[in-house]
């Protein structure tokens, strides 16, 4: 598989305080990689540093062979890296369709934007049905779908997802993960995600990094990790 993301020696944090230390991460095309760990372990900080929302203190981030370590978030988005936060990232007072069209401003051409829009309507039929409804009136699961739709409208190739199941009923959470898996398998996207629902992550991820206090303590295939008898000892 072609390597999409290669992170080496990543150190990041806030102000002058490091939160993550010396992280090495690899994500290949068509792969879902999960980062698991307790609250405060540094998982979200890791995603934000890769996405360009915070500047790393050290290390190197390579995306499709290009060093993007110091690029801001907007430039990384133009290259196909999209960060989807745990919060409901939509514009509440705008309609569903206007949210999607806004996300499509980074598309290469009007034709590409229209293709992305049609793909979103196929992936998320509920968004097509509620295209004229204000985003703020959607359910939590529907807003999560819309957040993903906005990211896909920008023609993202690497999805950085922060707790995609947060606040969702189990059936909605499973549906979101199934959609992510479908995108990765059918369209060659890649995903690096942080998740608190360990069982859900192990069901859909290909590989897993376990984080504790800002460092990775284990890197394993999800199918191997799911068979571990004392999994919770890692947390």
Check whether residue 186 and residue 207 sit in a common domain. yes
Check whether residue 187 and residue 134 sit in a common domain. no
Last-in-domain residue among 110, 138, 155: 155
DSSP secondary structure code for residue 224 in this structure: H
pLDDT in tens, 25-84: 999 999 999 999 998 999 999 999 999 999 999 999 999 999 999 999 999 998 999 999
Check whether residue 186 and residue 199 sit in a common domain. yes
Q: How far apart are CA 48 and CA 33, in angstroms?
A: 16
Q: pLDDT band for 118, please (50, 70, 90 cuts).
A: confident
Total structural domains within the chain: 2
| Model pLDDT, residue 89 | 76
Higher pLDDT among residues 196 and 190, named by residue: 190
- What DSSP assignment string belongs to 56-83? -SEEEEEETTEE-TT--HHHHHHHTEEE
Q: pLDDT band for 235, please (50, 70, 90 cuts).
A: low
Check whether residue 161 and residue 76 sit in a common domain. yes
What range does the domain containing 1 cover? 1-80+157-235
Q: How far apart are CA 111 and CA 166, in angstroms?
A: 34
Last-in-domain residue among 138, 155, 172: 155
Give the pLDDT mean for 163-190.
87
Q: If phi over 0 gives left and psi between -120 and 50 gives alpha, with beta otherwise, what is residue 225?
A: alpha
- Residues 6+ positions from 229 with CB-CB distance below 8 Å: none
Check whether residue 4 and residue 102 sit in a common domain. no
pLDDT in tens, 134-167: 999 988 878 888 888 888 888 889 999 999 888 7
Residue 107 has pLDDT above 70, yes or no: no
Check whether residue 67 and residue 91 sit in a common domain. no
Q: pLDDT band for 108, please (50, 70, 90 cuts).
A: low
Q: How far apart are CA 93 and CA 90, in angstroms?
A: 9
Check whether residue 75 and residue 171 sit in a common domain. yes
Check whether residue 71 and residue 161 sit in a common domain. yes
Against a cut of 0.95, is the pTM above it? no
Burial class (CB in 10 A: 0-12, 13-18, 19+), 174: middle
């Amino acid at each position: 598989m072609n390597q999409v993301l290669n992170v080496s020696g990543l150190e990041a944090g806030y102000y002058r305080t490091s939160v993550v230390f010396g992280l090495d991460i690899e994500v290949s095309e068509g792969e879902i990689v999960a980062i698991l760990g307790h609250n405060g372990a540094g998982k979200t900080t890791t995603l934000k540093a890769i996405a360009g929302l915070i500047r790393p203190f050290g290390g190197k981030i390579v995306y499709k062979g290009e060093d993007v370590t110091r690029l801001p978030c907007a430039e990384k988005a133009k290259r196909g890296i999209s960060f989807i936060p745990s919060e409901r990232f939509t514009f509440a007072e705008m309609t569903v369709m206007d949210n999607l069209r806004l996300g499509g401003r980074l598309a290469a051409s009007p034709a590409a934007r229209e293709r992305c829009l049609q793909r979103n309507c196929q992936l998320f039929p509920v968004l097509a049905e509620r295209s004229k409804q204000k985003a703020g009136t959607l359910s939590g699961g529907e807003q999560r779908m819309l957040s993903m739709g906005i990211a896909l409208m920008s023609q993202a190739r690497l999805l950085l997802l922060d707790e995609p199941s947060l606040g969702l009923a189990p059936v909605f959470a499973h549906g979101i993960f199934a959609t992510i898996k479908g995108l990765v398998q059918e369209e060659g996207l890649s995903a690096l995600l942080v998740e608190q629902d360990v069982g859900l992550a192990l069901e859909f991820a290909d590989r897993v990094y376990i984080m504790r206090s800002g460092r990775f303590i284990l890197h394993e295939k999800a199918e191997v990790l799911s068979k571990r008898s004392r999994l919770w000892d890692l947390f």
